[in-house]
Amino acid sequence: MRSVAQRAEELRRLIDHHNRLYYVEARPEISDRDFDRLLEELKKIEADHPDLVTPDSPTQRVGGQPVEGFATVTHRAPMLSIDNTYNADELREFDRRVRRLLAKGETVTYVVELKIDGVAISLTYENGRFTVGATRGDGVQGDDVTHNLRTVHELPLRLNIAAPPPLLEARGEVYMTRDELARINRDRVAKEMEPYANPRNLTAGTLKLLDPRQCAERRLRLFAYDLPPAGGLPGVEFKTHLDSLRKLRELGFPVNPHIDSFDDIDAVIAYLHTWETKRNELPYETDGLVIKVNDLDQRRRLGMTSKAPRWVVAFKFAAEQAITRIRSIEVQVGKTGTLTPVANLDPVRLAGTTVSRASLHNADYIATKDIRTGDTVVVEKAGEIIPYIVRAEHAARTGQEKVFTFPTTCPVCGSPVQRDPRGAFYRCTSHGCVARLKRQLLAFAQRKAMDIDGLGVEIVNQLVDTGLVGSLPDLYRLKKEQLVGLERMADKSAQNLLDGIETSKGRGLARVLTGLAIPHVGDTVADLVATQFPDVQQLLAASREDLGQVKGIGPILAESLHEFFQSERGRQTIDEMASLGVKLTEDVKRKPANAFAGSSGVSGKTFVVTGTLARYSREEIEELIKKLGGKATGTVSRKTDYLVAGDKAGSKLDKAKQLGVKVLSEDEFDELIAVK
């Protein structure tokens, strides 16, 4: 009779086998339900017998505790950069250099692979078990992101080999699918948060998260593409790159299926052209193709320059742009009443999708670019999910174009509209606006606020449209019999939503402040305020001056907070929430000093982040700044120590230069925090 330990090991091997069939070979043998049953059985055994839990168990992919920082990993062999080419002539010159350096008449075979737009990583296995995963970094050293890579289901936690080697290193690319980015962005837009620009940036930022549970929520994927000689299989010497790819598949790694080989460069060029449009049908982003010499002995003889190998080159696709026309400009209403103009475009195909809308952000954006209704505009994706209007073609104007002016009344409720005297935004003045209320409810339910699972766009629309909810406190008055009458709301889903709402009552003051849609107040500000004023009664009694004394709170934030808590609406909201049992105090505990905050240049400094970054999303870099002991704010002032500026940095960069605030590139920020 099998022992419990034997059954646990059998389950691990079965789960690994079916994981490999599902994620790597795309030929599942069992249903999702049967797979879940195997996993649940293993979880139960390990819960009853904790001594049987192993590091490579499928149950250990998610659930580890957040790490305190990123250790540095030195790569056994450098992760080298690749030279880029952009046209056929440059590829032919690459081919001539290769043949010139080899013996005359040698046959050269090129392997062509898709250039996945993700993040390069190295994967180390000891005795067949995954032990360390690291980013490329500067090519010599990278960040240890093992805790996050364990959440990637395609990554084998142990190798599919009977006699594993003592040490093996594989290399690959972690990426995110277009659908996953769209899913995340739908959720962010519904909660009136800025959508992420592209999957590569979000992948990079996700790998830099300290908490693997957050990483697991974003469903990263993996393709392996190399077994470097320094980390290969002992006693196994590959003659070609294609041999090593076959071995990677045998070991259980996912390898991209779109790989081909050619014996002359013209055939390579013809193949590349087939992907210029076909790549848009893929579920993930590619920004080109990689051409590699297949023969490994030829690679050794070709060697490398001071910057890159001579045996490989990347062919990069040009950024995709299209010309279209703005049919009209409409206005959407956000959680604080902010009116956001959106351009409706003549539909145009771009990067495999039909683009028909693009955000125009605010009044300053429209004025700076001089965008008008009827304008011919250049729209770009450049691998991005969010369409971006590069410019209006002023020379193409016919005289029929119309200057856009913001409405004087709200397009939803008809209330007066006012321009924010402190910014470029127009706002609806009615707190009873249904569009505003819907956005507020979604923001209130988001993870960083009250974290109410199940309170999504469709449910919020029904709650407001049927009159069941007319304010945030009304959520806590909902009854089961009211919910079961809604569309797609059965008895169980109604109870689950009520349970989620009930649980949210205990989140504490900081989370409530985050969800109240007070202008300029996000989770960072809410944490600062709740730490200084841990009881809502203290906030109700606080003056502008009291609020302004909180470190990191400037006069604009102090005014916004004071205005809310002194308003009849604000006080009524607080009173109702208190009477309904919502916790309006914060358990302030002395936080242990961060293990590495004092050693960086961040501790005690105030940062503003602007533009699009390559390795971080806005949320991730601001979280990292806080972990390192700094403060991340949204407004540049004389109190700002650093502005971190990415691509397309706008007015904040100009203001920083005007005030003499030190501006950091992303690389300079990494140097400051010493993560390289």
Q: Catalytic residue numbers?
A: 115
Cα–Cα distance for residue pair 114/291, rounded to 1 Å? 9
Cα–Cα distance for residue pair 604/594, rounded to 1 Å? 12
Q: Tokens 């929520």 label which residue? A: 217
Q: Tokens 């790549």 label which residue? A: 279
CA angle 269, 274, 275 (to 5 degrees): 100
CB 4 within 8 A of CB 49: yes
Tokens of 637: 């002032």
- Residue 426, C-beta contacts closer than 8 angstroms, at least 6 positions apart: 338, 339, 363, 406, 417, 418, 419, 420
Could you give the C-alpha distances from 239 to 95, 170, 218, 261, 472, in angstroms and in order?
21, 17, 38, 15, 66
The runs of H, that is alpha helices, within 542-614 are 544-548, 555-566, 568-579
φ/ψ of residue 489, rounded to 5: -120, 95
Cα–Cα distance for residue pair 497/397, rounded to 1 Å? 53
Q: How is 499-522 classified by DSSP, letter by letter? A: HHHHHHTTS-HHHHHHHT--TT--
Tokens of 567: 């308003």
Cross-strand bridge partners of residue 142? 73
Cα–Cα distance for residue pair 506/513, rounded to 1 Å? 13
Cα–Cα distance for residue pair 506/187, rounded to 1 Å? 24
Q: How is 460-504 classified by DSSP, letter by letter? A: HHHHHHTTS-SSSGGGGG--HHHHTTSTT--HHHHHHHHHHHHHH
Give exposure, 509-541, as e/b (b: 16+ Cβ within 10 Å): bbbbbbbbbbbbbbbbbbbbbbbbbbebeebee
Cross-strand bridge partners of residue 291? 112, 313
Of 482, 483, 526, 491, give the one whose Cα is nearest residue 508: 526
Edge-first strand listing for the sheet containing 110-116: 84-85, 312-316, 286-293, 110-116, 259-262
CB 76 within 8 A of CB 228: yes
Of 564, 553, 354, give the one whose Cα is nearest residue 440: 564
Cα–Cα distance for residue pair 517/643, rounded to 1 Å? 26
Residue 544 burial (C-beta neighbours within 10 Å; 0-12, 13-18, 19+):
middle
Tokens of 618: 């806005």
φ/ψ of residue 583, rounded to 5: -70, 120
